[in-house]
Amino acid sequence: MGQIEWAMWANEQALASGLILITGGIVATAGRFTQWYFGAYSIAAGVLICLLEYPRGKRKKGSTMERCGQKYLTTVVKLFGPLTRNYYVRAVLHFLLSVPAGFLLATILGTVCLVIASVIYLLAAIRGEQWTPIEPKPKERPQVGGTIKQPPTNPPPRPPAEVRKKPSVEEEEAATAGGPQVNPIPVTDEVV
């Protein structure tokens, strides 16, 4: 069991708890149970938890399957920085969110599930795991001609090898000046 990333399971459990809280909340509010306002709270808490937990964090080793459409929420969750990155914060947050829902029967299952998720997150935090957003890979556009910095220094038509072997210093300077091409020997354009 050495390689288990507990945060992955905590994430699934927390997402499930969020959904259970929403369901229990809807039942209590729609049925106008006694103290149904806890149900209304539980719907709100459930939605918050689902939004927070929907983007899956990146695994330390190997590839991570993204949830469908999670990149939009990833950008939002990333904004909170250490509050969402750190799993101790998440453990405490889930525990606090679960307490009010424990007062109503309809949402008590959600409470217990969320407390379990909080405990697993605590375990993950103790083992040093943290939430890393899954970044979309930047599209690498092939840089056409990126390595070509300067035009070729000795393009054809080239003089024969004997002349090329000993270029004079001035010719070299002129050739590498970057200015217009200076031919080592005069070239005449014979138009017939």
Partner 1 sequence: MTVCWILNESMSTVVVLSWLAVNFYLFIDTFCWYAEEEAFFYTRVILGSTLAWARASAVCLNFNCMLILLPVSRNFISLVRGTSMCCRGPWGRHLDKNLKFHKLVAYGIAVNAVIHIVAHLFNMERYHLGQAKDAEGLLAALSKLGNAPNESYLNPVRTSSTSTTTELLMTISGITGLVISLALILIMTSSTEFIRRTSYELFWYAHHIFIFFFISLAIHGGGRIVRGQTPESLRLHNVTFCREHYAEWEAAALCPVPQFSGKEPSAWKWVLGPVVLYACERIIRSWRFQQEVVITKVVSHPSAVLELHMKKRDFKMAPGQYIFIQCPSISPLEWHPFTLTSAPQEDFFSVHIRASGDWTEALLKAFGAEGQAPRELCNMPRLAVDGPFGGSLTDVFHYPVSVCIATGIGVTPFASLLKSMWYKCCESQSLPELSKMYFYWICRDAGAFEWFADLLLSLETRMSEQGKADLLSYHLFLTGWDENQAIHIALHWDESLDVITGLKQKTFYGRPNWNDEFKQIAYNHPSSSIGVFFCGPKAMSKTLQKMCRLYSSADPRGVHFYYNKENF
Sign (positive/negative) of CA torsion 124, 43, 27, 105? Answer: positive
Under the criterion CB under 8 A, does residue 118 sit at the interface with partner 1? no
Under the criterion CB under 8 A, does residue 24 sit at the interface with partner 1? yes
Structure tokens at 33: 């149970």
- Closest CB to partner 1 among 56 and 90? 56
Under the criterion CB under 8 A, does residue 119 sit at the interface with partner 1? no
Under the criterion CB under 8 A, does residue 8 sit at the interface with partner 1? yes
CA 127 – CA 118 distance, rounded (Å):
14
- When binding is defined by CB under 8 A, the residue of 21, 50, 109, 162 that contacts partner 1 is 109
- When binding is defined by CB under 8 A, the residue of 31, 37, 51, 158 that contacts partner 1 is 31
Under the criterion CB under 8 A, does residue 174 sit at the interface with partner 1? no
- Closest CB to partner 1 among 34 and 150? 34
Under the criterion CB under 8 A, does residue 105 sit at the interface with partner 1? yes
Under the criterion CB under 8 A, does residue 56 sit at the interface with partner 1? yes
The number of CA neighbours under 13 Å toward the Cβ of 138 is 3
Under the criterion CB under 8 A, does residue 68 sit at the interface with partner 1? no
Under the criterion CB under 8 A, does residue 33 sit at the interface with partner 1? yes
Q: Which stretch binds partner 1 (CB under 8 A): 86-94, 101-109, 140-148, 156-164?
A: 101-109
Under the criterion CB under 8 A, does residue 13 sit at the interface with partner 1? yes
* Secondary structure string (H, E, C) spanning the chain: CCCCCHHHHHHHHHHHHHHHHHHHHHHHHHCCCCCCHHHHHHHHHHHHHHHHHCCCCCCCCCCCCCCCCCHHHHHHHHHCCHHHHEHHHHHHHHHHHHHHHCCCHHHHHHHHHHHHHHHHHHHHHHCCCECCCCCCCCCCCCCCCCCCCCCCCCCCCCCCHHHHHCCCHHHHHHHHCCCCCCCCCCCCCCCC
Under the criterion CB under 8 A, does residue 34 sit at the interface with partner 1? yes
Question: Applying CB under 8 A, which residues contact partner 1?
Answer: 1-5, 8-9, 12-13, 16, 20, 23-24, 27-28, 31, 33-35, 56, 59, 62, 65, 103-106, 108-109, 112-113, 116
